[in-house]
Amino acid sequence: MTQTFIQTFILLILVTDPFGNVPLFVSALAQVPKARRWKVVVRECMIAFFVLLLFMFFGNHLLAAMQLSQISLRIGGSVILFLIALRMVFPQPGGPFGASEEGGAEPFIVPLAIPAIAGPSALATVLLFSSDTARDIALHVGALTAVAIVWLAVFLSAERLQAKLGPQVMTAFERLMGLVLSAMAVEMFLAGIREFIKSL
C-alpha cells in the first residue's frame, strides 16, 4: 500500500508540475497586492484540488456516459503525459501546458487553477484512479491531499524560490521531472497495450 501511495503521489506531482509552474505563478501574481497573494494562491489550489477530486470520484460515471473504456483512457492519457514530458524536457514558450500568462488583474481559476495545476494530463490521470474499493479511494484521496500541500508550499514561496534558485536551476529541475514523467508515460502506454491484447 505504501508503494502505491508513493507512486500515486509522485505521478500527481509530475503531472501537476508545481515547480515548473513557479514562473507562471510569479508572473500572474505580479499585479496582485502582496498582502493578498497568499489568499489567491490558497484559493486557486483549493479550486484545482476539488476539480481533480470531482474527476476522481465521478470518473467511472463519466467514462460510462461517454462510452469510453479504461484501456482507451490509459493509452490516451499516456500519450498526453508523454507530450507534456517532451515540453518539460524541451521547454516551449508558455510552459509545458501552453498556458498564457495573463497580467493586469487578479487571476481567477484561469490560468492558475486550470490549466496550470488541473490541466488535461492531471484530469486524465485522476480519471484512471477511479475505484470502487474504499481502500483505493482513501489512498488516492490521501495522495492528492499530500500533493495539494506541496502545491501550497511551493506556490506560497514561489517568489523566493525563483529568486534563490534562479531560472537555470528551475529549468534543470523541470527537465529532470520531464524525464521521469516520460518513463512513467511509456510504462502506462505499455500497460494499456497489454490490457488491450488480453481483451482480444
Q: Does a structural domain hold residue 91?
A: yes
At 149, which helix (H) or strand (E)?
helix 134-156
Provide the domain count of the chain: 1
* Cβ proximity of 25 and 157 under 8 Å: no
- Answer yes or no: pTM beyond 0.75: no
Q: Which residue has the cell 528551475?
A: 170
Instruction: Say yes or no to pLDDT of 136 above 70.
Output: yes
Instruction: Say yes or no to pLDDT of 69 above 80.
Output: no
Neighbours of 140 (CB within 10 A): 24
* Residue 65 structural domain: 2-192
pLDDT digits (tens, 9 = 90+) for 71-118: 787 787 778 778 877 877 886 655 555 544 444 468 888 778 987 898
The radius of gyration of the chain from alpha carbons, rounded to an integer in Å, stands at 17
**What confidence score (pLDDT) does residue 101 get?**
46
The residue among 67, 82, 83, 76 whose CA lies nearest residue 193 is 76
Average pLDDT over residues 33-53: 94
Q: Does a structural domain hold residue 29?
A: yes
pLDDT digits (tens, 9 = 90+) for 7-35: 899 999 988 989 878 877 887 787 889 89
pLDDT digits (tens, 9 = 90+) for 141-182: 999 999 999 999 999 998 888 888 887 787 787 788 778 778
Q: Which residue has the higher pLDDT, 32 or 43?
A: 43
Q: Does a structural domain hold residue 169?
A: yes
**What confidence score (pLDDT) does residue 109 get?**
87
Q: Does a structural domain hold residue 166?
A: yes
